A and B are shown apart, each in its own frame.
Chain A
């Protein structure tokens, strides 16, 4: 009888504590709340500069280009200087081009694991789909203002160590991305002149455009 009473009291206490203690929002909810503006993005275009810190080079590889995104799955990633290369992606299919090689070639994410991996990294911070990200990455907040996130892949078999994403002051879009590789190499991409929810010429998602 005494034991029953103890259990009843314990349950009552637990219920009391649970109802009285303030509810801490989960990281998922926090991010959803803070990135509400970013979630409203339907199109985004931006210029970027890219810095590659690779151990095989004795200097930093600096380049610049343009980036276009249209929800849910259209993407154009294009280097303009010092070499012209890039790709467009529509769903699972796309075309890519390289410096010194005329024209472009098609690819399919289903049969091209390398491009599939690249597309996944780009969509990771372009879409900002928190559920999708949490399935694949362990997310932590590095800095509150401006918001900076670290994304570490849950799978350990790839080359990727972590992604670092820094948002604009109003959290409306990504301002800087760093891709850190396991061997210490990393790439920094800084976006500028970002235009959000402005119409994008559909032709930009079709093929290489003459410069």
Chain B
């Protein structure tokens, strides 16, 4: 078939050019026709056993995940009043459409009857702890003290307001209900005595804003941060604003990647230019790079046929992986260019076999990604299989006709004169690397793969230190088909968390909005309490009233309140009181439309005992960012081991079929082994963790390393031209130029790919070019002696 095609196109070059042009146009059409989607879910396991996708979906509903937090800090010499004024002014400058629901206090606007409504809510909230607090308030001394305080107040200018408060609530029972508001305050380190977000030392204030700009919306994020910067720039001297939001992370990554790409592409271009000048030196050699690139659209189309949506990450990664297929065209180009035209068909046949096996091993290595639980990696597998197959076909069918040259004769393979020293040196290096293998650890934390500039990191730390860890709190979702059901589950979760002594940072709606049944229980407790305590209260109140000259009927509204039938409260009750935002943040709807009420808790408080107890509540779902990251890391680490082992097994199987000889197999595998060992060893010594991106790099090293092995073994075995060694060298150098230059990047993900490819491919090519021939001679000498 190959022979027929070669002869056919040798006669009809224009037809070949036409067909290739159609191929390119078709590829471009495919590329533009396919919709790409940025979907973080593509990077999460989707197997039935994994809970991660479900947890991720709920994590997206975290109350502070999409909020913008602005900390305002006043330097020494700036008064608290000035800080407040600056806070209010800054909040007022943050207007729609970019900003929404801007708050500098837990309650956006206190309604006039705040105390009255809290007092009315008290029977429905009346817990056993409230009962104890109320008992203390009813002590004779306390009542006397309270009435003395009221009398002093009534002397003052606010008497008209105080008078009504006194008549309705002489013991200030509304404060017991107000204490419940603390349970929904996520600013754990804030000064709870303040009505606004003020830090314990009074030097910081906080603004919380919502926005419709998505975290992944780069342009929107830029506009948002520009507006924030402009608003912050207008702050008076001595007051500084620190902003924390997801958009800062996105833009930091975009900026870092942009900067990296300029640097990396610049370096890679210079390196490839040097390779071109040193080894290729012909305009036709540009096809070495152009042919593999033209398969991109078809690979994307194949992914689109197999999956409902094509991940942007797949296309990005896949385009990078296309660099491997350059190796095929390089091999064909160098082999054909230095071969007389008459012998080209024969040369093509001799190159096609190792090239085919090389491609087959690479495809086999990438095929193991089909077993991944990550959709993105499965897409990458399909992409690589299609791209490598098409690139191989183009290299064998198109490239031979556009190599130019033909006059030069093939140089004989230069014998390798290196003695055993390189082998010994290589062995020493490998042993040193093997020692560091146990030090290699896997890091599944996806956050560690994103670029976090020091300023963003410092801002996050400042918010955490000043206001608490609300952005990364663990969440317990109480789910139900109705809000009432969810509230019932939420009550059970709240009781459980309260029972645990270390339930730090607990934020729960249960303290403000218990389920109807719990409210009825509370009301019963309230009524029973007054059955026992009303006579005592009446006695003590009358005595104290007489002492301060209060009239007998002064507290009639209060007695009327105690005798009134209490009412149930609902979400609207708190909304009308101004608690719109926090109630909306803590009550969400799930993907299936179910209701869920969120309880927030410090992840450190979520110990094994509490987890075990929470598991007893079927409708409770615990989602903790740290635990999520650890589980993801654990699952990916398992995937990583499995991939590398499966890829190696597939490659070994193919080599066994090719050589049916253990020694040849071992020789062909030496570059892979050397590359992987060197990569893991150096990373171990450097303390560099292994991550998701390194898995792909490792598979790349397996695929390319075995190609180098096959070509060098073929070169040694059949004594073919030195173009094979040169092709291996040029292929490795192009890979190092393309991938290895990523080591210059600041972005952690790009850097980790660059480092692992640089180490792995450098070691693999050195092993292929120097160690394999050395071992070959030793084996052959051994055989000859045998």
A interface, CB within 8 angstroms of B: 50, 52, 54-59, 61, 63, 77, 79, 82-83, 85-87, 93, 98-100, 106, 113-115, 118, 122, 159-160, 181, 185, 187
Contacts and interface: CB of A to CB of B under 8 A. Distances in A.
Interface in B685-705: none
B155 A83 contact: yes
Interface stretch (B159-167, B442-450, B635-643): B159-167
Nearest to A160: B160
Contacts of A55: 551, 554
B29 to A, nearest CB: 63
Interface string B547-561: 001110010000000
B157 interface: yes
Given A79-B156, A98-B153, A56 B161 contact: no
B149 interface: yes
A145 to B, nearest CB: 30
Contact of A58 (B149, B152, B550): B550
Interface of B: 80-81, 84, 112, 149, 151-161, 163, 166-167, 549-551, 554
Given A98-B152, A98-B153, A113-B112, A57 B549 contact: yes
Contacts of B157: 77, 86-87, 118, 122
Specify which of B149, B160, B167 lies most central, judged by the most chain A CB atoms within 10 Å of its CB.
B160
Given A56-B166, A56-B554, A93-B81, A114 B152 contact: no
A59 B549 contact: yes
A160 B159 CA distance: 12
Contacts of A54: 154, 159, 163
A68 to B, nearest CB: 14
B155 A79 contact: yes
A86 B157 CA distance: 8
Given A83-B152, A100-B152, A58 B160 contact: no
A15 B80 CA distance: 66
A106 B81 contact: yes
B155 A56 contact: no
Nearest to B161: A114
Contact of B154 (A52, A77, A86): A52
A118 B551 contact: no
Chain A to chain B: the 9 pairs with minimum beta-carbon distance, closest first: A56-B554, A99-B152, A85-B156, A83-B152, A59-B549, A118-B157, A114-B161, A63-B155, A58-B549
A57 B155 contact: no
B550 A85 contact: no
B158 A52 contact: no
B81 A187 contact: no
A114 B153 CA distance: 14
Given A54-B163, A82-B155, A159-B160, 4 more contacts: A61-B151, A79-B155, A114-B161, A187-B159
A185 B149 CA distance: 20
A79 to B, nearest CB: 6
Given A56-B167, A93-B81, A98 B156 contact: yes
A131 B425 CA distance: 101
A52 B166 contact: no
10 contacts: A52-B159, A54-B163, A56-B163, A58-B551, A59-B549, A61-B151, A99-B152, A114-B158, A160-B160, A187-B159
Contacts of B161: 114
Contacts of A50: 155
Nearest to A93: B81
A160 B80 CA distance: 34
Contact of B551 (A57, A93, A100, A187): A57
A71 B412 CA distance: 106
A83 B81 CA distance: 27
A100 B167 CA distance: 21
A58 to B, nearest CB: 5
Contacts of B158: 114-115, 118
Nearest to B105: A111
Given A58-B549, A58-B551, A114-B161, A52 B80 contact: no
A106 B154 contact: no
B85 to A, nearest CB: 8
Nearest to B158: A114
Contacts of B549: 57-59
Contacts of A98: 152-153, 156
Contacts of B80: 106
B152 A57 contact: no
A181 B155 contact: no
Contacts of A83: 152, 155-156
A59 B549 CA distance: 7
A56 B153 contact: no
B174 to A, nearest CB: 16
Specify which of A56, A87, A106 lies most central, judged by the most chain B CB atoms within 10 Å of its CB.
A56
B156 A181 contact: no
B616 to A, nearest CB: 47
A100 B155 contact: no
A59 B152 CA distance: 14
Specify which of A57, A86, A106, A114 lies most central, judged by the most chain B CB atoms within 10 Å of its CB.
A57
A41 to B, nearest CB: 21
Nearest to B546: A58
A26 to B, nearest CB: 32
Contacts of B554: 55-57
Contacts of B160: 159-160, 181
Nearest to B164: A159
Contacts of A114: 158, 161
A195 to B, nearest CB: 22
A58 B548 CA distance: 9
A83 B156 CA distance: 9
B702 to A, nearest CB: 67
Contacts of A100: 149, 152
Contacts of A77: 157
Contacts of B159: 52, 54, 187
Nearest to B555: A56
A85 to B, nearest CB: 4
Contacts of A185: 163
Given A58-B551, A100-B149, A106-B80, A52 B167 contact: no
